[in-house]
Amino acid sequence: VKDECRDVTAFLDEYLERSLAADSVRVFEEHIAECADCAHFLASYRATRALAGEALRGGPAAASSAPAPMELPVPERLIEAILAARRRER
């Protein structure tokens, strides 16, 4: 890792997954300590990873007082429609 923003950005995943060698971690962290842009970038990149997981899982789990979607019934006609569509496709 070179002591510049471009290189630090390229190794963000390795840094967060702790797969960087110790001397690279040192260069990385020294750069972050001195460079506000890269410190902000690291924090926002970490937040992006977390938000992507939360959003893809259908989150947030319980944001409002509305009933959880899980509790809504499954319409029988949806199941019938899927099976009928398959029979038409064969």
Partner 1 sequence: VSRGGNHTRRPTRALVDALRRGDGAAYERLVREHTPKLLALARRYCAGHGDAQDVVQDAFLQAFRALDRFDGRAQLSTWLFRITVNCALMKLRARSRRPELRIEELQPCFSPDGHHESPIAAWAAPEDGTLERADLCAKVREAIAQLPESYRTVLVLRDLEGLSTLEAAHVIGENENTTKIRLHRARLALRTLLDPLLREGQL
Interacting residues toward partner 1 by CB under 8 A: 2, 4-7, 9-10, 12-13, 36-38, 40-41, 43-45, 47-49, 51-60, 62-64, 69-70, 72, 74-75, 78-79, 81-83, 85-87, 89-90
What is the length of the chain?
90
The least distance separating partner 1 from the CB of residue 32, rounded to whole angstroms, comes to: 12
Residue 61 DSSP class: T
State how far the Cα of 54 lies from the Cα of 45, in Å rounded to an integer.
14
Q: In terms of CB distance, is 33 or 55 closer to partner 1?
A: 55
The H or E element containing residue 50 is helix 36-56
